[in-house]
């Protein structure tokens, strides 16, 4: 367990929410609790919009360009999380990249199981194409389940001439079968996300007949050919979290197949530590690095000026 007092304070906040939940806690209450935990809004303008029939929001930091877009998929195990819970993270990403962000309020389980979130993601991306955003001017980002969804969308778009330019994902959930060795090696250091919990969330998302090794649910199981054709990827993950292997193994498979993926394991950090930028300097640094990565692949330099 980490001895960093700032990280310990973050963990305590998250555990206080999880600790109130029981088997009979309604999912609506869980979602409300999660949104309350991440209540900061950031400085960006927030404009609701319907994109391809999917509720979304434009999140635009002061001075951000509007001719480029980062499409953001929030985390929450496909059961909680929203545009409200991730508003500050999207705001900071927009400011750091100098680009507007389109947050996607995709459908959640148990009301809507796989592949509903993926269908929503693809509908939003098709809407962006119709709105005139070319592939080189579009990038994807997401955390946890949303990170896995971003990667699944890239896999589903293969063969399409509008595959986004790059993706930046944080603590991405790439293996719903939960086979990674980090479930053993990081079990003592991760205060919340243990294998039984992850497997229960996967069952709730996939349903009784769902396959946890379907590449469009678990991108880790994509073929080498599929992985080789992904755009450049940056994966960030906390070194203390049990889903560490989800990022490390996925990046390793992409690179072995001939693709381009960088995996950064941040020492002492927990699951989606980037969602606590006010508490953790590492979160602010990580977001800046991710934003610069996306800006570069969107044809921008760090200060937002066009280079291509």
Residues acting as catalytic residues:
144, 241, 271
Do the beta carbons of residue 142 and residue 172 sit within 8 Å?
A: yes
Do the beta carbons of residue 287 and residue 92 sit within 8 Å?
A: yes
Give one DSSP letter per residue of 76-109, joined into a string. STTTS--TTTTHHHHHHHHHHHTEEEEEE----T
- CA separation for the pair 154, 226 (Å, rounded): 9
Among candidate residues 38, 287, 50, 265, the one with its CA nearest the CA of residue 171: 265
Among candidate residues 17, 22, 20, 18, the one with its CA nearest the CA of residue 37: 17
- CA separation for the pair 68, 85 (Å, rounded): 23
């Amino acid at each position: 367990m980490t001895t960093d007092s700032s990280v310990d304070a973050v963990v305590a906040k998250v555990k206080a929410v999880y600790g109130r939940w029981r088997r009979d806690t309604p999912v609506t209450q869980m979602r409300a609790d999660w949104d309350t935990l991440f209540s900061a809004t950031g400085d960006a303008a927030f404009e609701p919009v319907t994109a391809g029939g999917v509720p979304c929001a434009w999140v635009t930091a002061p001075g951000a360009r509007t001719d480029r877009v980062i499409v953001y998929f929030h985390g929450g195990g496909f059961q909680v999380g929203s545009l409200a819970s991730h508003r500050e993270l999207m705001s900071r990403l927009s400011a750091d990249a100098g680009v507007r962000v389109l947050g996607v309020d995709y459908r959640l389980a148990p009301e809507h199981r796989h592949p509903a979130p993926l269908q929503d993601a693809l509908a939003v991306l098709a809407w962006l194409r119709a709105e005139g955003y070319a592939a080189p001017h579009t990038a994807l980002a997401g955390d946890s389940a949303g990170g896995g969804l971003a990667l699944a969308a890239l896999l589903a778009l293969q063969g399409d001439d509008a595959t986004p330019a790059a993706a930046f994902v944080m603590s991405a959930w790439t293996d719903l079968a939960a086979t990674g060795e980090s479930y053993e090696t990081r079990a003592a250091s991760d205060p919340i996300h243990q294998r039984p919990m992850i497997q229960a969330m996967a069952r709730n998302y996939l349903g009784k007949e769902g396959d946890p090794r379907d590449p469009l649910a678990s991108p880790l199981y994509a073929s080498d050919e599929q992985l080789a054709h992904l755009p450049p990827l940056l994966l960030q993950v906390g070194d203390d979290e049990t889903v560490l292997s989800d990022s490390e193994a996925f990046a390793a498979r992409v690179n072995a197949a001939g693709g381009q993926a960088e995996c950064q394991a941040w020492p002492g950090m927990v699951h989606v530590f980037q969602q606590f930028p006010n508490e953790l300097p590492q979160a602010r640094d990580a977001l800046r690095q991710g934003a610069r990565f996306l800006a570069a692949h969107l044809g921008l330099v760090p200060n937002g000026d066009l280079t291509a």
